[in-house]
Chains A and B, each alone.
Chain A
Amino acid sequence: MATFVRVLLVCALGLALGLLASAYALSRLSPFDRVGLGSWELEPHAGSTDADPYTLARLERTGEIPLAVGEGLQLVARVDDEGRALDARCVYNVGPRVPAARYWTLSLIDQDGWAIDNPARRYGFRSSEILRAGNGDFTITVAADVRPGNWLPIGRGRPFALALRLYDSPLGATAGAIDRSTAPRVTRVGCG
């Protein structure tokens, strides 16, 4: 009887642990294709036939339509430069450069990739519309309150993330070779 109970316990525990591990894996980028670039993370092979089962399982759950390798790359930041989770009560500066690309966009999303409503109705910036310094450097200020320059409003006080898409970028699947210094910095300026 005791053995029977133990076997039952092993089965229940094994099943629960397996499902928990799967739920955890589905909520984040593939452990076999995750590349970190400062605050940013990406899956360079998500948009190719080399996408691994972890990537495919995650895409199936989220319904995301990945950018193909020839189209561009998507980088997501959930933490600042010092590894602290992005907080809607704080102010961040993003810049001054991005990796080479014909166009890029930076937009503000929630943890699941959805746009967050804000009174200004601004959900992102395009490389073709931002204000830049004379040398081409830029700063995008992510803050809840109005800021001069390139202001990206945070919206309601929820945890948020930043998505950077590089269109027509020569980097492609060689993302591992991206020069780290070209990834935009996400600097926390202060918290109110």
Chain B
Amino acid sequence: MTERLRSDEAAAYLAATAILAALVHFIVMLLAPYVASQDAFARLAPLGALNETVLLPRAGPAERMFPYADPAVAMAFCRYDLASGPIRVQAPAGRSFSSISFHTRRGLVFYALSDKAATHGVVDAVLGTPQEVRALAAHDDEESPSRDLRVAASAREGYVMVRVFSEFPSLYPEAEAEAKRLTCKPEPVPP
């Protein structure tokens, strides 16, 4: 006793399968950053406390934490949480290329500046939530406005990454020393 599958029924089953597959696919893709069990932030977080500068080990065959890392570039990071106020990020600019990038918890890069933006050899920025940045701006003296570069973060939590390029293999330790000089400090907000 077999039921014959009519062609319109078969088409309906096929369509249902395709729609379900597409739905499953989009849910997986959209949720991936939120289950985030092995993303960069999850790998960085155990390495250091909040606002602490941590030097990452040099990329190489023995180092399996961050893929596609450049063995010619020294990297250090600090984790931020803007719940308790803005932070001031500073990094020295050396003679080679260096850059600071701001990443959210979910892996979005929302700002970056290179050593070309340095004044007196230091790249300096104040990172805050959009509200904190507005509050800082509201306290600006109209006669002598602050010269701070203020960056509004797209998320409360994330990390700041500094990259320092070494021009020659022998200069890598120097690049590491420079990367380690990244500082992330809570910035006092005027009352």
Interface residues of A (CB under 8 A from B): 2, 6, 9-11, 13-19, 21-22, 25-26, 47-49, 51, 53-54, 56-57, 59-72, 74, 76, 102-103, 105, 107, 109, 112-117, 123-124, 126, 128-129, 163, 165, 167-168
Contact = CB atoms under 8 A, between A and B. Distances in A.
A56 to B, nearest CB: 5
Nearest to B32: A57
Given A71-B99, A115-B60, A60 B39 contact: yes
12 contacts: A13-B17, A59-B33, A60-B107, A63-B42, A65-B161, A70-B111, A71-B101, A74-B68, A115-B59, A124-B70, A126-B166, A163-B70
B83 interface: no
Interface string B147-191: 000000010000001010111110000000000000000000000
Contacts of B169: 129
B71 A69 contact: no
Given A21-B21, A63-B38, A69-B109, A167 B67 contact: no
A47 B32 contact: no
B17 A14 contact: yes
A21 B106 CA distance: 22
Contacts of A116: 61
A57 B70 contact: no
Nearest to B67: A113
Nearest to B59: A115
Contact of B168 (A26, A112, A115, A126): A126
Of A19, A63, A128, chain B has the most CB atoms within 10 Å of the CB of A63
Interface string B48-72: 0000000000011111111111111
Contacts of B109: 47-49, 51, 66, 68-69
Interface string B90-117: 0000001101011100111111111010
B11 interface: no
B22 interface: yes
Given A22-B24, A56-B106, A63-B38, A68 B29 contact: no
B59 A14 contact: no
B64 A114 contact: yes
A124 to B, nearest CB: 6
Contact of A64 (B36, B40, B154): B40
Given A13-B17, A14-B21, A60 B28 contact: no
B71 A115 contact: yes
Contacts of B96: 103
Contacts of A71: 99, 101, 112, 114, 163
B137 interface: no
A63 B38 CA distance: 6
Nearest to B31: A57
